[in-house]
Amino acid sequence: MIEVEHLSKLYGSTSAIADVTFSVEPGEILGFLGPNGAGKTTTMRILSGYLPATSGTAKVAGFEVHEDSMAVRQRIGYLPESPPLYPDMTVEGYLNFVAQIKGVNAGDRPQRIQSALTRCNLLEKRKTIIRKLSKGFRQRVGIAQAIVHDPPVIILDEPTVGLDPRQIIEVRNLIKNLAGDHTVILSTHILPEVSMTCSRVAIINHGQVVATNTPESLMTQLMGSSGYELEVEGEFAAIQQCLQAVSGVKTIEPMLTDLLPQNRLKIKVVSESETELGSELATALVSHHLKLYEMRRVQASLETVFLQLTTEETPVENVDEVEPSDAAIEGGTPNENADL
Ligand SMILES: Nc1ncnc2c1ncn2[C@@H]1O[C@H](COP(=O)(O)OP(=O)(O)OP(=O)(O)O)[C@@H](O)[C@H]1O
C-alpha cells in the first residue's frame, strides 16, 4: 500500500533524510520510531504530498506522491503534529468542511461525519465549538478529520504528544481499531507506543532507517538469542552438564542472587536462536532428577534495541549482521514511560 524507495530530502545543505526505503502492507500499522530530529516529520510530509523529496520515490496506493499528489491526498488522511483545526467552528461543522474539501459527495457526507464522530468517540461533542475542547478531544477531532473521507491510508505524526495518560490510552485504542480497514503509519518517539499499537516498526535515526521488523522479532533478531532464567535445586556442575545436552543451548551461567533457599541456584540459559527451549530445558532437568522451581523467558526490551540501534556510530544496514550480545538479554521489561 505504501512503497518508499531511496527517499532523500535536503533543506539547503542539511540532510533531513537520506536513502530511506521501507514499505507498508495493507491493513498494517507501522510505527515510525526515532528520536527528535531523526526525520520522521519530513518523511510523513513527503508521503502526504505536502513536501517534495530531493530524490527517490514514494508511492501510496500505487500513485507517486509528487507526480499524482491530488490522487494521493484523496487517499490519505494526515494528522500533522499540530492539527489544522478551526477553533470557531463546531466539531460537526469542521468535519463537514473537511469532507467537502476532500471531495466527499454532499449526499454521503452526513454518514461519513457520523461514522468519524462515532469512531473517535465524539458524538457528545458534535455541536461544541472546537475552541472549548480539551487537548484530548481536539486530538480526537484531528484524527476524525484524517478519517472523515474514509481514506485507505492514515498518517499520524506524534498523535499522543501532550495528552494525559487516560487520553493516551483512548487515542492508542482508537488507532488500533483503525488497522485492518486502513493502513496506518504512526510516527512517535515514545517506545511503548510502538509495542502497544503497531504491528511493525521502522527505526529511524539521523535520517536513515536503521531497522524494520515486528517489535518482537526486532528484539530477538537483533540480539540473536533469547534467554531463560531458571531456579533449580542442585550443584551447578550437574545442572550445567544436564542443560548443555539440550540442543540449541548457547551458554549457561549462574546468576548472583540473595535470599535463595539452600541448594537452590538461579541459572541463566541463553539460546542460539529465538526458538523456544522452555519445555526441553524442563524435561532435561526433570529426567536428571533436578528440581525446577521456576522458569522465566527473558527478552530484550524494545528500549534496549532502540538504544543499541540509535547509538551506533554507523547505521546498522541489516539487523541480521549484528553480533549477538549476551548482555543485551538482560534488558528486562520496557519502561512504560520511556520517552526518548
Ligand atoms: N524547514 C526546515 N529547514 C531546515 N532544516 C529542517 C527543516 N525541517 C526540518 N529540518 C531538519 O531536518 C532534520 C529532520 O527533522 P524532522 O522534523 O523531520 O525530524 P523529526 O524526527 O520529526 O523530529 P521531531 O520529533 O523533533 O519533530 C532535523 O535536523 C531538522 O532540524
Shared domain check, 17 and 158: yes
- 180, 250: one domain: no
Q: How far apart, in Å, are the Cα atoms of 129 and each of 86, 125, 134, 224, 330? A: 9, 8, 11, 53, 51
All residues at 6 or more sequence positions from 119 whose CB lies less than 8 Å from its CB, including other chains = 144, 147, 174, 177, 178
276 within a domain of the structure (yes/no): yes
Shared-domain flag, residues 259 and 113? no
* In a shared domain, residues 238 and 186: no
Q: 96: which residues sit within 8 A by CB, 6+ positions away?
A: 109, 113
ipTM, two decimals, is 0.95
The CA-atom distances, in angstroms, between 135 and each of 82, 113, 138, 145, 163 are 11, 21, 5, 15, 7
pLDDT digits 0-9 by tens, 279-315: 999 999 999 999 999 999 876 666 666 776 776 543 3
Task: Answer for the pair 230, 269: CB distance below 8 angstroms, yes or no.
Answer: yes
Whether residues 129 and 174 fall in one domain: yes
Q: Which residue minimizes the CA distance to atom 25 of ligand 1?
A: 36
Domain that residue 258 falls in: 227-298
Q: State whether the beta carbon of 189 lies less than 6 angstroms from ligand 1.
A: yes
Whether pTM > 0.80 for this model: the answer is no
For residue 251, the cross-strand partners are 270
User: Ligand 1 atom 24: the closest Cα is on which residue?
Assistant: 36
Is residue 318 in contact with ligand 1, taking CB distance under 6 Å? no
Name the residue at shortest CA distance from atom 31 of ligand 1.
37
Among the listed residues 3, 29, 49, the one whose alpha carbon sits nearest the alpha carbon of residue 200: 29
In this predicted model, what pLDDT tens digit does every residue of 164-214 receive, in sequence order?
888 888 888 888 888 888 999 999 887 778 878 888 999 898 899 988 888
* Residues 254 and 284 reside in one and the same domain: yes
Say yes or no: 174 and 234 in one domain. no
Answer yes or no: is 282 within a domain: yes
Whether residue 173 sits in one domain with residue 234: no
In angstroms, the CA 163 to CA 18 distance is 31
Average pLDDT of the segment spanning 133-145: 91
Q: How many domains does the chain have?
A: 2
CATH of residue 8's domain is 3.40.50.300
* Of residues 318, 252, 307, 320, the one with CA closest to residue 285: 252
Question: 12 in a domain, yes or no?
Answer: yes
Report if residue 31 sits inside a domain.
Answer: yes
Smallest CA separation from ligand 1 atom 4, residue = 11
User: Is 49 inside a domain boundary?
Assistant: yes
Residues 41 and 180 in one domain: yes
SS3 readout for 123-179: HHHCCCEHHHCCHHHHHHHHHHHHHCCCCCEEEEECCCCCCCHHHHHHHHHHHHHHE
Check pLDDT > 50 for residue 52.
Answer: yes
Domain assignment of residue 53, yes or no: yes
Whether 219 is covered by a domain: the verdict is no
| Residue 33 located in a structural domain | yes
Asked if residues 182 and 153 have their Cβ atoms less than 8 Å apart, the reply is yes
Q: Are residues 261 and 139 in the same domain?
A: no
Contacts of 68 (CB under 8 A, 6+ apart): none
Residue 13 CB–ligand 1 contact under 6 Å: no
Q: Do residues 90 and 180 both lie within one domain?
A: yes
Cα–Cα dist 253/340, whole Å: 33
Q: Does one domain contain both 96 and 183?
A: yes
Q: Of 283, 298, 313, which marks where a domain is finished?
A: 298
